[in-house]
Amino acid sequence: MKFLSLLLAVVLFTTSCQESKKQPTETIPSNSIFNLTTQWHNQNGDSLHLNDLQGKTLVVVMIYTSCKTACPILVAKMKTIESKISRKEIDDVSLVLVSIDPEVDTPPHLKEFAKTNNMDARQWTFLTSTEAATQEFANVLAMKYKKISPIDFSHSNIISVFSPNGQLVSQEEGDIDIDKVVATVHETVKKNR
Amino acid sequence: MVMFFASCSKQGKHTKHEDAGANTNINKLKSISTDVKMAYIPGGEYKPFYGTDTSLVTVAPYLIDERAVTNQEFLEFLKENPQWRKSQVKRIYADTSYLGKWPSDLELPANALPDAPICQVSWFAAKAYAQSVGKRLPSLDEWEFVAMADEVSPNARKKPQYSATIISLYMEKERQYKAVMKSKPNYWGIYNLFDLIWEWTDDFNSILTTSDSRNSQYEDKNLFCAAGATSSTDVLNYAAYMRFALRTTLKANYTIANLGFRCAKDTTISKAN
């Protein structure tokens, strides 16, 4: 009996774990960002992998929170994009801000930044990791960046949209056309429903 | 039973912040051994071709392979690490021309010399190889630091023939098929920095120019945050300009017929003996 209940427990344990995955791993396309196995932390201090973001259309930008020049503009653009996404579709979208400054941008720091900027609703995810993982991710986005002083980075301004299985749909670089991003998000959500 | 459930639902959550990203995509690599000699470079201050235009960059002492990684060595790496074979590599890590000339996963191209430099590998693949031998890719500054040398001096940049000599090497066709270490080493004992291939650096993505450098828009404020902090400081060094122009066009999953790499390593030795 004891053995049986243990067996039952193991079976339940296994199924519950499988159910928590939205899609089985083998359906991840070869060019998906979900192939990256780096470990990240969100603004709540939870440890996660990129494939934990699977299942939603992703709008991704890389920034650092102490930036005084272009990043506030990028953050503002992300907020405008978020506000223009239909409320009927917002649950199918994650807006992800990835820090290029893991030393300063710890989870508590990101949490505070999210609060101050009214970006603490469910659809916002802030991510931070190690320098190596950040570099790898920047390279996947083809984003250029360089630490130019202990507190400042030069970096390219890119907002990327990914499909729910992690494939790149589009990238807007430089003078970002917000409405184009919003339209892409809408199409991607529609296509994957 | 309760414990089972708890351990499942908490999977991956609330681990310590210090653990973040300790694993990278290439953490499941099998080690391989290599006998390539490394040169000790004492480092020092140098003026980058691009960079903060007012100050010199300090390069810490490091070790760098005397030559590029060869076809044979990369084949050994693939034998142990099937995830990097051309049939299995993920597209996000390498484009479709990865090891393009290889007839199959573990077969060098016909006529390829085992000791010619490996080419047509992505930055991700180069980085994985370096990790598998317990090394890393050199930084852009480390690579350019040793590239200042000619055969007799550590910094030959001011010599008029320095850039011209390199340009003429760059112009030679099909040079990547030749074996390594057949030409003379430079001042540091390093071979083939210019005459065979272009080489990946770890932070090739740190050059903030638009990829079309011909329009001389080095400081497109829309494209780059704080772009004004970087600019060209050594405009007469056309050879270096060519390298930087190439690097700005690269993406990390690109593979190119004459783009290979060599490895580097940190060192704790701070003075040359």
Residue A40: which pLDDT band, with cuts at 50, 70 and 90? very high
**CB-count exposure of residue B204 (10 Å: 0-12, 13-18, 19+):** buried
Contact A39/B at CB under 8 A: yes
Sign of CA dihedral A85, A86, A90, A93: negative
C-beta pairs of B148-153 under 8 Å, 24+ apart in sequence: B148/B46, B149/B186, B149/B187, B149/B188, B149/B190, B150/B186, B150/B187, B151/B184, B151/B185, B151/B186, B151/B187, B152/B187, B153/B187
Residues spanned by the domain of B253 = 41-266
pLDDT at A2: 52
pLDDT attached to residue A3: 52
Mutate to test the interface with A, among B54, B212, B224, B266 (most CBs of A within 10 A): B224
pLDDT in tens, B11-55: 333 333 333 333 444 458 999 999 999 999 999 998 887 654 557
In a domain, B35, yes or no: no
Does residue B33 belong to any structural domain of this protein?
no
CA closest to B249 among chain A residues: A142
List the single residue in A with minimal CA-CA distance to B253: A140
Are residues B45 and B141 in contact, defined by beta-carbon separation less than 8 angstroms?
A: no
Mean of the pLDDT values across residues A118-141? 95
Backbone phi and psi for residue B141, each to the nearest 5 degrees, phi listed first: -65, -40
Task: List, for residues B246-261, the tens digit of each pLDDT value.
Answer: 988 899 999 999 999 9
- Which CATH architecture is the domain A31-191 placed in? 3-Layer(aba) Sandwich (3.40)
Could you tell me if the ipTM is greater than 0.90? no
Q: Quick one: pLDDT at residue A5?
A: 54
Question: For B84-113, how does the pLDDT look when each residue is reduced to its tens digit (9 = 90+)?
Answer: 999 999 999 999 999 999 999 999 999 999
Is B23–A37 a contact, with Cβ atoms under 8 angstroms apart? yes
Residue B23's closest chain A neighbor by CA? A38
- Asked if the structure places residue B30 within a domain, the reply is no
Which has the higher per-residue pLDDT, B223 or A21?
B223
Tell if the CB–CB gap between B91 and A107 is shorter than 8 Å.
no
Residue at B59 is within a domain: yes
Q: Note the residue count of chain A.
A: 193
Confidence at residue A107, expressed as pLDDT on a 0 to 100 scale: 97
pLDDT of amino acid B116: 98
* pLDDT of amino acid B214: 35
Q: What is the pTM of this model?
A: 0.82
For chain B, what percent of residues have pLDDT higher than 90?
A: 59
Give yes or no for a contact between B73 and B118, defined as CB atoms under 8 angstroms apart. yes
B153 domain residue, yes or no: yes
Is B34 inside any structural domain? no
Domain count, chain B: 1
Dihedral angle sign, alpha carbons of residues A38, A185, A182, A158: positive
**pLDDT mean across residues, chain B:** 82
B124 in contact with A, Cβ within 8 Å: yes
Render the burial of A78-95: b for 16+ CB within 10 Å, e for the rest.
beebbeebeeeebebbbb
Report whether pLDDT(A19) > 80.
no
CATH code of the domain in which B151 resides: 3.90.1580
Task: Give the model's confidence band at B10: pLDDT under 50 very low, under 70 low, under 90 confident, else very high.
Answer: very low
